[in-house]
Each structure stands twice: as structure tokens, then as C-alpha cells.
Structure 1
Amino acid sequence: MDSEREPVRVVIVDDEQLVRMALRLVIDGEPDLTVVAEAADGDAAIAVVDEHRPDVVLMDVRMPGRDGLSATRELLSRPTPPQVLILTTFDSDDLVLDALRTGALGFVLKDTQPPRLLDAVRTVAAGNPVLSPAATTRVIAAATGPQSAHARNSSREAARKQLSALTERELETARAIADGLGNAQIAQRLRISVATVKAHTGSLFAKLAVDNRVQIALLVRDAEE
């Protein structure tokens, strides 16, 4: 990151003090990142975000009182929201998936190695998603168990209805995004230019009423479940 730029401002939200301390030590050790506040629950998270206006919120999901999903929904409904990166131990897979649908840009495990965690913070600060293919598979598998069959059916029908508005090329682009491909890789797969991929992606955002590629990927996965 350009040394003349202001550091990326981060808020850490987790009900475990030791987790917050560890994350702060890792993040504050970087010249281009700084932790401006911490919170132990969703209500406190909203208050500190309102006060400090961070660029990125590292958001735990399960917390006493207001959970991370509810707080994420409220924060992302604001006119100028921060980017939200979900923290998880995979004890809360359903909520993680819901948070991604809400507009969080990705998720990281709490035991992620520091270099990967720092990369994730920088990536979402730039407005790009962070989705590990292996972790994504685990979350989706956990969220589609027998106990949630009715919810799966509802989500599948709703997703298929949204995707029905797409052209064939737009749908192919959406499926490539769901496979985790970048613009250059999508262009190669579909044998089109990167500029055309960007145009299709812009159409996807408008037609599907989504804000990022993560939400596109989840819609495709819901429709094909």
C-alpha cells in the first residue's frame, strides 16, 4: 500500500478479550493498518463504528446479546458502510452464510495464520471478496443439512427466480464468479475480453440487486443446490 496513504482503520468485534488482544497485536504491527476500536457484542460494535468510522470491521458471529449477523445487517444498510469481514470458528456456519448474503465481503477463521489474516483485511479494505474455496465448501455443506431442507427449497426457488432475468452470457459469467474465477480467468473460459466480463459483471450487480461478487456466488450456489 502507498506509504503516503492513511492506514486502513479496523474495528475488532469479538466477545473474547484474548481474541481481540491477539488480533490487535497482529494488525497494529503493520504500518498500513491500525485498530481504532474494539467491541464485545453487536450493539457495542454499532456504537464504535458510528464513533470511529472504520474502513473494515472484523465481526464475530455468535456473541452474547446482539449477534454479529444482526449488527452486520444494520451496518451494511447505512449510506457509507464499512467493509465487513466475518470471523468464525465454524460453530456458526448458518449465520456466516447469512452474513455473506447480507453483504459481508468474506470470512476468515479465528486461527488463520497472521499473514493470511492481514492479506484478508487489506483485500476487503480494497472492496474485494475473501473466500477460501475449502472454507466456502465447509460453510455451505454445514448450512445445507437435513434440518434446513425447507429453508434450502425456499432459497433455491428465490435464487432461480432472480437468475432467470439474466442473459445466457450473464449467467455463464455468474457461474464463473461462483467458481472463484477472476476477470482474466473468466475471459479465458468464456473466450471474451476482460472488458466484456466487467460489463457482464456490472449487469449482474444491477439485475440481481447485489453489491459484490460474494453475493453473486451465493445466489448461483443456492440456485444449483
Structure 2
Amino acid sequence: MNAPALRLALADDQALVRSGIRALLAGFPQLEVILEAGDGDELLAALAGTSVDVVLSDIRMPGLDGFGLVRALRARGDATPVVLLTTFDEDDLPLRAAEAGAQGFLLKDASPEDLYEAITRVAAGDTLLAPVPTDPVRARYAYRDTSAPTDTFSERQVAILRLLAGGYSNKEIARAVHLSEGTVKNYVSEILDKLGTRDRTRAVLKAITLRII
């Protein structure tokens, strides 16, 4: 028996963008868009009466933007996973998304497969705090050492790896994941050990190559 499709809500102030995303998602029978809205306020109202598995929201919208939508959902006790989408590749956006309470962040030029991966992973409880690397990015930054890690990675370690990939410092990561800076430093050391790499840059490149992130 097939699992029921994941129920999605979509917010974007551009109707053409919404229809484009909906068309992409239509290629995956495991996903179903059941709510659409042109801004955060409209979607917030709709979600008060309908439950979904994942919310997809543009970051920049008139009125209540994506960050505000996530904060409003969390303030009323709604823990539905949110993936924030944007066309703007700005350094601070993934960190701001994490601080607002979003589980995922993705650039709109990501492939349909990357979007599907992001949706299904946050629905399963994962946190994607930096954009999912696309295949061209993986090819460009392929790391020569493809030996397997010495151990598996916890959800927390993968989340920290994604923030490392975004170039964030231990202090910034600690603020985003609500841990002490010392604890983050310990996590980073464990990550380097498992990957057999000497520094953060090599760790990120190898993690991308091995599709850990």
C-alpha cells in the first residue's frame, strides 16, 4: 500500500511563480499542493483551518513575508515544517531562516529533484539550514577523497555541516541551533574526525561529494 501524498501549502506573491512551482511538484505523485496564497497573511489564515505536512513560502512578499509567516506559525504553536524559497543568494538568508524557525532554505533555481528532496527531508524531521547543493555545484566542488566516513552522522551534525557550508562561524552556528559555542566546536571536531579531513573547507567539500549534505 502506497503512503499518502504529502500535503503542501504554497505562498508566493507572484502567480506565475506559484503556478511554476506547482507544475514542478505535479511531477511527483508523492506531493500534493492543497493550499495556495499570495502572501503570508493569507496563508496564515488558511492554515488556521487546514493542516498540511510542509509549508513552502517565498521569503520576500508584501505584507507578511516568509520570515514573519514562520514566526507567526511558531508563536501560535504550529510546528509544521517550513521551507523558505528565494531568488536572492544572500549570505545571511539561511541563518535568518533558521533563527525564524524554518526547517529549510532553498534557492528557486534549484532543480525539481532538489526541491523534492528538501520537502521530503523536512517532512521526515530533517533540518536543511543551507541550500541543498545542486548537481552542477557538486560537480564543481567534487573532492578527491571519496573514502567513506568512519561513522554515520546525526541529524544535528548534518545541520551543522550545512551551516559550515554556508560559511558561518561557530558563534553564528551556535546562535542558529541554540547551543553553546563550545558545544558547536566539539561537534565540528567530531565532523572532521568522521570525514577524515583537516579543516572545515575540506569537510564541506567531502560532505557535498559524498551527498551527506
TM bracket, shorter-chain basis = 0.5 to 0.7
2:9 to 11, 17, 25: 11
1:102 to 88, 91, 100: 100
Q: By how many angstroms is 1:75 displaced?
A: 1.0
Cα offsets for 1:104-156 (capped at 9, x unmatched): 11211111111111111111111112233679679668xx9xxxxxxxxxx76
The CA distance in 1 between the partners of 2:57 and 2:165, in whole Å, is 19
Q: By how many angstroms is 1:78 displaced?
A: 3.5
Alignment match, 2:186: 172
Is 1:33 the counterpart of 2:31 in the alignment?
Answer: yes
The CA distance in 2 between the partners of 1:85 and 1:70, in whole Å, is 13
Greater fraction helix = 1
The CA distance in 1 between the partners of 2:119 and 2:193, in whole Å, is 25
Cα offsets for 1:31-58 (capped at 9, x unmatched): 2110011111110120122222111111
Alignment match, 2:155: none
Mark the CA change 1:79 to 1:113 in structure 2 (over 3 Å): closer, same or farther. Answer: same
Q: By how many angstroms is 1:91 displaced?
A: 5.9
Alignment match, 1:124: 122
1:88 and 1:96 in contact (8 A); partners too = no
Mark the CA change 1:76 to 1:187 in structure 2 (over 3 Å): closer, same or farther. Answer: farther
The CA distance in 1 between the partners of 2:39 and 2:55, in whole Å, is 13
TM-score by length of 1: 0.60
2:106 and 2:115 in contact (8 A); partners too = yes
1:62 and 1:92 in contact (8 A); partners too = no
1:57 and 1:83 in contact (8 A); partners too = yes
State the one-letter code of the partner of 1:163.
S
The CA distance in 2 between the partners of 1:40 and 1:60, in whole Å, is 10
Q: By how many angstroms is 1:62 displaced?
A: 0.8
Q: Secondary structure at the match of 2:119?
A: helix
2:180 to 144, 159, 163: 163
2:73 and 2:79 in contact (8 A); partners too = yes
The total of aligned residue pairs comes to 164
Alignment match, 2:46: 48
The CA distance in 2 between the partners of 1:162 and 1:47, in whole Å, is 33
Identical positions, percent = 36
2:88 to 76, 87, 90: 90
Superposition pairs for residues 129-168 of structure 1, below 5 Å? 129-130=127-128, 131=130, 132=132, 159=175, 163=180
RMSD: 3.4
The CA distance in 2 between the partners of 1:129 and 1:37, in whole Å, is 23
